[in-house]
């Protein structure tokens, strides 16, 4: 049986450590976002976040000397679509936090690997076998257990969070479509520019003065976002994405702990069971995709959130 080869210069332990550190930083960021969207329009919070992250990315590309050529894309419309999907994902996630506890939003978001696999069938022409089809169905059942439609009051947060799931899954699919055509720097530049323009066009219409405490919190969101994305980028330089990807599911226990510490919210037993079912299905999908790469000799590096 073939074995997925790890590059000789890979440092898997360091890659995993950087990934887990990034997840912890993202957890802190999510707490601050939830605090802010409870007091200010979520579109405004997302706008200012993109100002900080987008400027950081563009400044980094300029420092690397690639900004001048970064916007030369072979698929510019697809790049704009990718950026739009990411902004939509963050809009929906931020809006969901105004209705749901942090732990519940992450429990629902664990569905995204399942949705990504499902969308890859018509959009990328991928072949999905019986095991992955079963995992897709089980994953959706797990999410239904979390949201329990018909057994509790209708919550707009669920709708927004499902929108985040499908938007991020679409973003992931488009990223795969662009991989053979454009450089990483091009995708980063378009993501930053589209994010700044689109979030500003919507967020500026409902702008409210943050005040000293609000601006301090926004500064923390921007700093943690940039640190987390930098840590993820560093982790991919140390180890293959195929090895690091399962650790993304650690976002759920981190969210559960931080949600309890910051807000006193504790996920209920039924939702936790549903989340674990969804996580298990997602890990099954990852395992089958990894086995496919081993058999076909596909590349071992890729994008990780």
Residue 299: predicted pLDDT: 44
Q: Is the pLDDT assigned to residue 57 strictly greater than 60?
A: yes
Q: Is the pLDDT assigned to residue 154 strictly greater than 70?
A: no
Read off the pLDDT of residues 35-52 as tens digits, 9 standing for 90 and up: 999 999 999 999 999 999
The pLDDT of 64-89, averaged and rounded, is 94
Q: Is the pLDDT assigned to residue 287 strictly greater than 50?
A: yes
The pLDDT of 90-105, averaged and rounded, is 95
Read off the pLDDT of residues 242-285 as tens digits, 9 standing for 90 and up: 677 788 888 999 999 999 999 999 888 888 999 999 998 888 88
Q: Is the pLDDT assigned to residue 6 strictly greater than 60?
A: no
Residue 285: predicted pLDDT: 81
CA contacts within 13 A on the Cβ side of 208: 11
Q: Is the pLDDT assigned to residue 225 strictly greater than 70?
A: yes
CB neighbours of residue 237 within 10 Å: 13
Residue 62: predicted pLDDT: 92
CA contacts within 13 A on the Cβ side of 6: 15
Answer yes or no: are the C-beta atoms of 46 and 33 closer than 8 Å: no
Q: Is the pLDDT assigned to residue 300 strictly greater than 60?
A: no
The rounded distance, in Å, linking the Cα atoms of 228 and 248 is: 13
236 vs 196, which has greater pLDDT?
196
Q: Given pLDDT bands bounded at 50, 70 and 90, which one contains residue 189?
A: very high
The pLDDT of 73-88, averaged and rounded, is 96
Rounded percentage of the chain residues whose pLDDT exceeds 70: 90
Q: Given pLDDT bands bounded at 50, 70 and 90, which one contains residue 232?
A: confident
CB neighbours of residue 119 within 10 Å: 17
**Cα–Cα separations (whole angstroms), residue 254 to 54, 265, 304:** 26, 13, 18
162 vs 300, which has greater pLDDT?
162
pTM for this structure?
Answer: 0.86
Q: Is the pLDDT assigned to residue 302 strictly greater than 50?
A: no
Average pLDDT, the chain: 87
Residue 293: predicted pLDDT: 64
Answer yes or no: are the C-beta atoms of 274 and 146 closer than 8 Å: yes
The pLDDT of 5-34, averaged and rounded, is 84
């Amino acid at each position: 049986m073939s074995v997925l080869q790890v590059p000789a210069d890979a440092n898997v332990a360091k890659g995993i450590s950087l990934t887990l550190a990034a997840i912890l930083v993202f957890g802190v960021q999510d707490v601050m976002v939830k605090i802010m969207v409870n007091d200010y329009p979520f579109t405004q919070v997302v706008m200012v976040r993109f100002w900080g992250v987008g400027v950081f990315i563009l400044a980094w590309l300029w420092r690397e000397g690639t900004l001048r050529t970064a916007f030369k894309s072979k698929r510019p419309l697809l790049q704009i679509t990718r950026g739009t999907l990411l902004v939509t994902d963050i809009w929906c996630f931020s809006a969901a936090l105004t209705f749901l506890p942090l732990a519940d939003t992450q429990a629902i978001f664990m569905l995204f690997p399942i949705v990504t696999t499902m969308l890859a069938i018509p959009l990328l022409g991928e072949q999905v076998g019986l095991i992955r089809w079963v995992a897709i169905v089980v994953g959706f059942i797990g999410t239904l257990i979390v949201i329990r439609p018909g057994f509790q009051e209708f919550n707009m947060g669920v709708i927004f969070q499902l929108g985040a799931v499908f938007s991020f899954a679409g973003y992931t699919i488009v990223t795969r479509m662009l991989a053979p055509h454009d450089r990483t720097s091009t995708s980063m530049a378009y993501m930053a520019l589209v994010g700044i323009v689109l979030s500003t066009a919507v967020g500026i219409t409902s702008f409210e003065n943050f005040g000293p405490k609000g601006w301090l919190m926004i500064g923390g969101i921007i700093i943690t976002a940039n640190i987390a994305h930098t840590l993820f980028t560093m982790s991919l330089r140390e180890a293959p994405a195929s090895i690091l990807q399962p650790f993304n599911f650690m976002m759920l226990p981190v969210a559960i702990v931080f949600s309890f510490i910051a807000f006193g919210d504790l996920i209920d037993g039924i939702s936790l069971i549903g989340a674990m079912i969804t996580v298990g299905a997602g890990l099954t999908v990852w395992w089958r995709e990894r086995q496919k790469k081993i058999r076909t000799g596909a590349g071992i590096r890729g994008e990780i959130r």
